[in-house]
Structure 1
Amino acid sequence: MNRQPIAVALRALRHTLLGRDAPPSRRLLARWPRLDRYATPVGLLATLGLFLITLTVESEWGLSTPIALLFAAMTVAPLLALPRRPLLAWRLTVLALLICTFNAPADQAWPWTPPLALGSIAVLAVVVARVDRPVLLWVVAISTVPVLTLVDPDNRVPVLLLLGALAIVGDLLRRNRLSRHALAAQTEQSEREQERRAVLEERTRIAREMHDVVAHHMSLIAVQAETAPYRLTDVPAPAAAEFVAIAASARDALTDMRRLLGVLRSESSGPQTAPQPDLADLDAMVDAARRAGLPVTLDAGPVDDGQVPAPVGLAAYRIVQEGLANAARHAVGAAVRVTVRAGHSGLEVRVENSPADARPTADGGPGHGLTGMRERATSLGGTFTAGPLPDGGYAVAAELPYDAEGGDR
């Protein structure tokens, strides 16, 4: 004997009588906010009207005032609980149908007052549309108990047919609502998947273009710089050192680019395991710039270990790096001074160059160096300024706070 249906039925019965209520649904007038604001006061007024009508009818039945007040309260209590607790409202309704009939006049065709009868139908209509099918079957079965025991035999069949119709319609409405929610969720998931695929395809395209164009040219620069001292005769020692510096810079750029290409091509890249540069790497970067022929002076004060957060140190390194690149590109022959000062609340970074000795050569148009530096500073909650100096030079300056909130942003 298969006991699984019996266990399911018993769990549904326990849930029907004592289980948690159905989750509240969206308000009926949520689409019309102007009308929705009046829903609660209008509902309370309607409930008060039903209470007074019930009290009047029961007074005409000859009930005492305390009993009439009790029965009227039991009539309207399910309606007050219905919007948020439909299953509780149904339980109160069944209790009211069983209790509020003991003193009904014998000549009445129905054992309940009109407000109680109509309210019980409304409560049942809401409940059957909100609970799952096993609980719905128990709700309908228990709702037939007052009908079979208290309703006149001539009126039982129409009431039972009404209960069955409410159960069928409620189940269809619930299944339709669940289907619409499932379809909406599936549509949203499909849209997110399409967006993710479009982003991945665009990242792959960018990675392919960078690999085919930029990486190719950087490789050529590195190879030419390394072989130039062997292909040329009587190369001075300073020029040979510059070739070595150019080759090293090209190799470093290729390494960074390969890491970036790996991130772009990966759908979900994990945390970067390669060490990121920080303030401790400024000396090496400045030395490489000097070997490449750029006269650079570094003025960096002492920095306590752990004083500067890693995001701030990385941002400072990248700002100095971009500042040196801009000076070498746009201010040929100019002296460059890099100043890094660590204060109590933030890090001050400044890169300035003297007037250029020669006009820069065309480099393919304006870039995004200043934009990138400004974005790095503002993402940490800092400030960034850039502009010409009175003597004809140029300077960029950034203030990067240490606070964790800026780092998180």
Structure 2
Amino acid sequence: MTRTDYPWLLPSEMIDPRGPELPGDRGRARPRRTVRDWIIDTLMFVIASGVGLLAVETLQKADNSELVDAFDLTAGIVACCALWLRRRRPVEVAIALAVLCMVAPLAGGASLVALFCVAVHRTFRPVLIVSLVSLVTGFAAACLRPDPTISFTTALLATVVLLLLVVGWGMLVRARRQLVVTLRERAFRAEAEAELRAEQAQRLAREAIAREMHDVLAHRLTLLSVHAGALEFRPDAPPPEIARAAGVIRDSSHEALQDLRMIIGVLRTPDGEEGERPQPTLVTLDELVAESRRAGMEVDLDNRVADPATVPAAVGRTAYRIAQEALTNARKHAPGTGSTVEVSGAPGDGLTLEVRNAAPTGEVPKVPGSGQGLIGLTERAALAGGRFEHGPTGDGGFAVRAWLPWAA
């Protein structure tokens, strides 16, 4: 069985428990012989004819009538021509030639060729049956049409040795072809697995980029939504307040465009190289808090880490994204309330980050949200080997808490 015969099958479905199938194993002949098939069939015909011609010299030494000689010659020609049918019916052709060889020694070459083809294209059981039939007919031929040049015992031994050589050679060829088929299947499977791994890597990269886009752009766009909503609900606000809100909207739009360019730049750079813009770490947490304060939030930062620069970059970036998303959610769902960011930890103990906000007061603008942010933060913390918890507090507020590993 080959992939060109059954392209819809998987490699595991194409391999028989007794070994990979070869072309012609189940009698499936090609609709048209290829050049290679014609060369092989012609070669087999020539070999069978050559062995038959050798037997002619032996028969000339025997005292046979002209009728017997004519029968032998006709049987030899028919046997050689029958080899052209062996691709469709190799077992039947081999058994018929073995029986014919019992009364016509000139068919011996064609019988050996047919036995060889059975050993190449069939499993052990048909090969064993045809071999036993050939052995029995060979012994019968030694009795019915003995060779006058050798003894009876020598003829029997020669028959056994010749059959063993032909069957062994055919099975060796079959084993080699099966090995080639198996190696091709392994190469095909390895190529398919490599493609699957590449697709999985691309999918993971897309998911990572999607999380990054959500974390980065949600923070900026939330500022736009909150301040635009404030301008909508308070069209009579004092001009300084309107000017400050417009400035925040302008700055947030500019930062969102910069972040979007950075993410697109990462997609365009070869081998997933980072862009020129540095990635946030725990050191830049102060800038995040300052930006939130400029946007009108009341944020208290309690950073008890002695040296934030010593925090691993991956851990610091995860903590920054968690704080960014938590402040974004607080700004969306509890505007005008105070928030607290607490950071603590040390090498070997891990890094703990907690963000709390009080309960909102008054009417809260309806800002769209899908809840995917908290899911993304949970995945971020899990990928970093940490834990993430979130939920309402006793006073009606909301809190998120994350623990991230920090190796000693």
Q: TM-score, normalised by structure 2?
A: 0.49
Greater RCO (CA < 8 Å, at least 6 residues apart): 2
Q: Which structure would you say has the larger Rg?
A: 2
Q: TM-score, normalised by structure 1?
A: 0.49
